[in-house]
Structure 1
Amino acid sequence: MSNSVGSPRNPGGGEGDPFGDDDVLPIEKQRRAHQFLTQETRYHIIQAVLGHPRYLGTLDELEYLVPKNRSTIREHLDRLADKQVMTKYKYRGDEAERNDPREFWGFTSYGITILDEYSYLRYVPVLRALQEHLYLTEKIERHQNAPRPDLPENVSDALRIPEIDDETEAIIDDVLAARDRDGSRLFDAPPIEPDEAVETEDGADRPLDELF
């Protein structure tokens, strides 16, 4: 399975490579890019957006999914934007309700290219399946269903999930089984079946047993 974008590894607008100028060896650029993408918080953010049904997440959604505090997530979103991997998309349409979010974080064309280079895109179906099996609060569900701006065509095309093959389906089954068996969890959110015995305080984003 491949979602290859088939575009050059270079940001738009004629800008240079964020991971090194022409005098930097390609292998050093690759090392820098790999180190940047695999930093723990950024790695979780990338996975959260890749698994999002619309590939555009609000800060509240990312705070719900990523096991870091809000200020840390915002800091690393800014770093991802500085490296042109992600950007903030703004919804300017008239379909949003008064309390709906209008700012969303998603990948740039360059971001998709570099993620494809490091084989992140092949796991989009797995990440999507994991998010589909998470419990969502009313607030997070509202954010997930809010109207969004359109992504660049090459970004949305690269993220479109193809027909699931047997190998990918087996990986999804294994990951979900591991979560059910030993509590393994990629995202910082409870499974879709919340514990009915656990009370949640008003305004809390997650059941109390997930906060400690």
Structure 2
Amino acid sequence: MSNSAGSPRNPVDSEADPFGGDDILPIEKQRRAHRFLTQETRYHIIQAVLGHPRYLATLDELEYLVPKNRSTIREHLDRLAERQVMAKYKYRGDEAEQNDPREFWGFTSYGITLLDEYSYLRYVPVLRALQENLYLTKKIKRHQDAPRPDLPEDVSEALKIPEIDDETEEIIDDALAAREHGGGRLFDAPPIEPDEDVETEDGADRPLDELF
């Protein structure tokens, strides 16, 4: 049995373009797409999934990473799905434990094509490095390590990190240094190695001194 959900296909002639029909000028479609992707909450969601080490994130992981409440995140995930940028993928394999998540959010083939057009994919190595240096609660770590469904091959290939050149390595170092000093925080989660005197229960609000 396949353990992946079919993702929406790239818009084709028989399928409505998510950002306008034939009567809309290409430049207007580009403007609409850019405005849609850069809306604050959706922008954070896109960054979180681009930086995810497994390419697929649960709603709980997104709630941990994105500085918005759960209902707002869910609303914008639905909008991303309506525009065929993202889809909900369901794991149907038998390797998951009883409490492991089964539903994950990831990009569609069309979504990856769109993000590549707007140069989002060039930042995947930096976003991945930032996420790998975050403090994770036991619950979020369990979600990150849970078995996942297969993504379309073109999506998983696009999100693989190529050999990192010196320029990208320097950008990563600068981003990590900025985060360590409390600046340039892209994700609503504390850096790795939080204060040892601070304990955070799963599902609890994280104290301010743990976030900065």
Letter in 1 for 2:124: V
In the other structure, the counterpart of 2:107 is 107
In the other structure, the counterpart of 1:47 is 47
Query: Contact 2:190/2:211 (CA < 8 Å) preserved in 1?
Result: no
SS at match of 1:128: helix
Structure 1 stretches lacking a partner, 5+ long: 1-8
| C-alpha spacing 1:130/1:108, structure 2 compared with 1 (3 Å) | same
In the other structure, the counterpart of 2:207 is 208
CA-to-aligned-CA distance 1:97-151 (integer Å, 9 cap, x gap): 0000000000000000000000000000000000000000000000000000000
SS at match of 1:182: coil
If the length of structure 1 is used for normalisation, what is the TM-score? 0.91
Structure 2 stretches lacking a partner, 5+ long: 1-8
Task: Give the aligned length.
Answer: 203
CA-to-aligned-CA distance 1:15-42 (integer Å, 9 cap, x gap): 1210010110000000000000000000
Mapped to 1, the partners of 2:194 and 2:68 lie a distance apart of: 21
CA-to-aligned-CA distance 1:131-179 (integer Å, 9 cap, x gap): 0000000000000000000000011111111000111101001111111
Mapped to 2, the partners of 1:43 and 1:178 lie a distance apart of: 20
RMSD: 1.8
In the other structure, the counterpart of 1:158 is 158
If the length of structure 2 is used for normalisation, what is the TM-score? 0.91
Mapped to 2, the partners of 1:189 and 1:12 lie a distance apart of: 39
Query: Contact 1:11/1:109 (CA < 8 Å) preserved in 2?
Result: no
| C-alpha spacing 1:10/1:103, structure 2 compared with 1 (3 Å) | closer
In the other structure, the counterpart of 2:172 is 172
| C-alpha spacing 1:13/1:155, structure 2 compared with 1 (3 Å) | farther
In the other structure, the counterpart of 2:181 is 181
* Deviation of the 1:183 alpha carbon: 3.7
Q: Which runs of 4+ in 1 moved over 4 A?
A: none
SS at match of 2:93: coil
Q: What is the 5 A alignment of 1:4-153? A: 10-11=10-11, 14-153=14-153
Mapped to 2, the partners of 1:53 and 1:175 lie a distance apart of: 17
